[in-house]
Amino acid sequence: MNFTVEKMKGEHIPRVAELERQCFSQPWSEKGLAEELDNENSHFLVAVADGLAGYIGVQEICGEAYITNVAVFEDYRKRGIGRALLEAACKGAEGRGCEFITLEVRESNLSAIALYESEGFEVAGVRKNFYSDPTENGIIYTKNFER
């Protein structure tokens, strides 16, 4: 499948918000996503095939990078899009001088966990009852960059 990874733009916001609603119990709003476009510490990327296929959000502060969300539309899953978004996010954060990149994932999201581990992320901790709808632990994964 041919797709490109590019910086999120205003034109992508409605579909990203739709993807958020499909994937998450507490989705970002269009307004919240749009505000990230003007935030110099935010780096949101989209994967575009024959339309928006997925996205990843990263916020950086003091040399640390935090992945806010990774999501891929169901029709585009298992095609390397999530991996490409994750690799681009990591490369960008490392290139901007971040020491590490981290995220939380529902403990039941085994496909995401397998992806993160295959990309060199390691368990850094557990946030008890971090997620709601349903209540579930969040596993913290971190990838350190070589310095």
Distance CA 144, CA 147 (A): 9
User: 10 Å Cβ neighbour count for 46?
Assistant: 23
Of 55, 66, 116, 131, catalytic: 116
User: Is 116 one of the catalytic residues?
Assistant: yes
Nearest to 86 by CA among 34, 136, 22, 141: 141
Nearest to 115 by CA among 91, 145, 81: 81
Distance CA 26, CA 130 (A): 12
Supply the Cα-derived Rg of the chain in whole angstroms. Answer: 15
Q: Taking phi first (over 0 means left), then psi (-120 to 50 degrees means alpha), and beta for anything else, what does residue 105 get?
A: beta
User: Is 107 one of the catalytic residues?
Assistant: no
Name the 3-class secondary structure at 44: strand
Of 20, 104, 131, 141, catalytic: 104
Residues taking part in catalysis: 104, 116
